[in-house]
Amino acid sequence: MFFFIARRLLQAVGVMLAVGLIAFALFQFVGDPVNNMTGQDTSLAEREALKEELGLNDSVFVQFGRFIGNAARGNFGHSYRQRRPVDELIWERFSATIELSAVSALLALLIGIPMGVYTALKRHSWLSRAFMTLSLIGVSLPTFLIGIFLILIFGVTLNWLPTFGRGEVVDVGGWTTGLLTLSGIKSLILPAVTLAVFQMTFIVRLVRAEMLEVLRADYIKFAHARGLAARAVNFGHALKNTLVPVITVIGLQIGSIVAFAIITESVFQWPGMGLLFIHAIHEVDIPVMAAYLMLIGLLFVIINLVVDILYYAIDPRLRLS
């Protein structure tokens, strides 16, 4: 167990270093930061001084080391655009994105997994055919279209739900949350559904495919041959075995929810990191891009670690050695 976790952690550090390298490379590729920091009347001498002060004359390795060191402390420099520390900018937006993603992920899982199981077990019933067709339509609909149509229907036509922003938020120990106010929750519904649709349909299909594989396994046949009740076979044996491969993919999928939030956030003007990032892209605001990249990397690493530990808990074959 210790070795297992230690190895994973080591890998995680490796991944973060690699992501750091990419983020660092962004700065190197995309022009001279001094140009982005100074006005046009800054003199050459001042530029040189600034360069020296920023350490841009050091070797690339020293700079990379410093970048990683700063990043580890959450220091990503200043946004070229907003002239504020990037970590502060990101932190302001962090809770919005995380709440949106978490709720979507939950929606996707709570609806997606049962639907996947159902469609696998009742492969030929009309309901599962309907589910499968719906899920196919779900993966074929671009997220932004879903968002627009939800706004049109539930916001404008029916006037049931807010169509933009996060509603009232309250601050709970430094974490702003919209989950504790009615307007916050109402504001969350449309974006969360929009974001969840794709992931949900994806999970339905994934669970179904894996479950079908498992249902064909010899031990399922053997379980039937032992005369076990259908429920015991389907849920006690088949579902659990299905979840093993599904967990990894779902883990990755949850990571991508955060990235896909970019689209949802810009359709719903949701004040999260995605909106920040898309603005940064438009304006080539490298420090923000780099920080966001590292953050997604970190998120992935954490999710993976959790998935691995879950794996470890579910699958006894890993516990050996």
CB 90 within 8 A of CB 295: yes
Report 58-117 residues binding other proteins (CB under 8 A): 78-85, 88-89, 92-93
Q: Of 107, 246, 275, 294, which lies in the binding site for other proteins, with binding defined by CB under 8 A?
A: 275
CB of 85 to other proteins, least distance (A): 6
**310 near other proteins, rule: CB under 8 A:** no
**175 near other proteins, rule: CB under 8 A:** no
Q: How far apart are CA 304 and CA 17, in angstroms?
A: 16
Report 286-305 residues binding other proteins (CB under 8 A): 286, 289, 293, 296-297, 300-301, 304
- The contact pattern for other proteins, residues 135-164, with x = CB under 8 A and - = no contact, is -xx-xxxxxxx--x--xx--xx--x--xxx
Return the range that interacts with other proteins (CB under 8 A); candidates 65-73, 100-108, 109-117, 284-292: 284-292
The DSSP code for 78 is B
The DSSP code for 85 is B
- Give the interface size with other proteins as a residue count (CB under 8 A): 106
Query: Distances from the Cα of 181 to the Cαs of 36, 150, 162, 178, 184, in angstroms?
Result: 41, 22, 13, 6, 5
Note the Cα 155 to chain centre separation in Å.
26
Return the range that interacts with other proteins (CB under 8 A); candidates 62-70, 98-106, 113-121, 131-139: 131-139
Length of the chain: 321
Kindly compute the dihedral angle of the four CA atoms of residues 313, 314, 315, 316, in this order, to the nearest 10 degrees. 60
Report 8-27 residues binding other proteins (CB under 8 A): 11, 14-15, 18-19, 26
Q: How far apart are CA 236 and CA 256, in angstroms?
A: 30
Q: How far apart are CA 19 and CA 21, in angstroms?
A: 5
**203 near other proteins, rule: CB under 8 A:** no
Return the range that interacts with other proteins (CB under 8 A); candidates 59-67, 104-112, 114-122, 226-234: 226-234
